[in-house]
Amino acid sequence: MSSVKKIVLAYSGGLDTSIIIPWLKENYDDPEIIAVAGNVGQADELEGLEEKALKTGASKLIVADLVDEMVDDVIIPSMKAGAKYETYLLGTAFARPVIAKSLCEIALAEGADAICHGCTGKGNDQVRFELTIKHFAPGMKIIAPWREWDIKSRDEEIDFAEAHHVPLKITRETNYSKDKNLWHLSHEGLDLEDPANEPNYDKPGFLEMGVSPTQAPDVPTYVTLTFDKGVPVAINGESKKASDIIADLNVYGGQNGIGIIDIVENRLVGMKDRGVYETPGGTILYKAHELLEMICVDKDTLHEKEKLAVDFADLVYNGKWYSPLREALSAFVDKTQEYVTGTVRVKLYKGNIIPAGMTSPYSLYSENLATFDESDYNQKDAEGFINLWGLPTKVQALRAQGKLQ
C-alpha cells in the first residue's frame, strides 16, 4: 500500500465516496488523492463538491463535463437499438463507461498509481468501472474499498463519517442509495429492500425528477419529436442537440408522471435486487422512436432488431460497452436506422404515453394497400399464398390420416 503515492478517485460526494478519502489517507500511507467528478447531468449534486473534497483530504477536484459524450456516444446508440434490460432503461449503466474512461485519461495524465471507486462488492457498477479501466489503462491498479475495509453497512458508513467529521446531506432515515444523471434517478435500500412494500411515491422528497401519476395534471400535454436516421434532432419543431431534447423531455415527462418503474432485476453478480427508477424523458424518447420505427422499418429487420436488442442491453448492463460485439451490434443498428426519419407526436397523461400520430417521408405504410375500401390489392392472390404457406401443414395432416400419396 505504501507504494501507492497518487490515487484518482471517482468522486460523487455521496456517502461512499465521501468517507473513502479519509479512509484512503489512513490505510494507504497518506497518498495524494485527486477527486474526479464526472458531470453526467446530476445538476445540483455537483454544488459544494470542491470544498467538501478538499476539506476531507483531496488535493484537488476535477470536474469532467461528460454530458454530451454520454448522450451522443452511449445513450442515443442504445436508444436506437431499443436496448432495455428487463424494462430498465439502463440509466446507471449508461453513465459508467464515460466516467471510467475519463478517470483513465486523468489518471494517466496525472501520473497516478491507482484508480479508486466506491462501488460495493454486490453491485454491477464495480464491473462496469473496472472493465472500462482494463480497456483504457490495463496496467493500472484498481482500489475498491468495499472489498477491503471492515465497514459492513451504510449505517456503519455514517458512523465513520461522523467520527471523521465528514459532512453528509443524508440522514439515517433518508439513507436511500441513489444515482442521478441527466437520464435517470435510481432509488434502492431502506423500505424498498422488501418487495412486499409499496413505494411511497407521494411522499414529499421521494421522487425528484417528477410527480407520481396520481398527482399529475388532469389535462394532457402534447409533445412532438423529430428524428433523423434514428437520432432526435428537434422537439416541438425547435432544433436542439440530443442532450437538450432529453432535458426538455424530463420536464414534460416529470410533470405528467411518466417513466416511473418498480422492478426486481437480475444483477450481474447473481442476486435479485429491487429498485425504483425515474426516467421521464428517456421513456418518452424510447417510445417515440419505437413508434417511428413501426412505419419505417420492414418486418424482418424490425423483428431481428428486437431480438438483438436484448443482447445489446445485456452488454450495456454487464459493463461491456467497449467490446467488439457491442460495436458490431451498433453497426447493425445504424444500418437499420437509414430510413428512420420523421416526426412523432405523443400525448402525455397521468403516467401514460399515448400515440398521437407519426409521419415520415420514408414510411412503408400504404393506406391504399391497408384500406377496407376499394384498393389496388388483389384479394384473390391470397388463395395461392395460403395454399403454399399451408402446404407443410396439409402434408403432415394427410400423413397422420394415412392418406399421403
Catalytically active residues, by annotation: 16, 96, 125, 177
Q: Give the residue ranges of DSSP H helices in 43-111.
A: 49-55, 67-70, 76-81, 91-110
Enumerate long-range contacts of 70-73, CB under 8 Å, 24 or more apart.
Answer: 70/40, 70/41, 70/94, 70/95, 70/98, 70/181, 70/182, 70/183, 71/182, 71/183, 71/242, 71/243, 71/246, 72/242, 72/243, 73/98
What is the C-alpha separation between 50 and 375, in angstroms, rounded? Answer: 69
Residue 380 burial class via C-beta count within 10 angstroms: exposed 0-12, middle 13-18, buried 19 and up: exposed
Q: State the cell numbers at 245.
A: 431534447
Cα 271 to the center of its chain, rounded Å: 20
Q: CA 315, 321, 324 angle in degrees (round to 5)?
A: 85
| HSE-CB of 4 using CA atoms within 13 angstroms | 22
How many residues does the structure list for the chain? 405
Which DSSP category does 121 fall into? T
Q: How many CB atoms lie within 10 A of CB 59?
A: 14
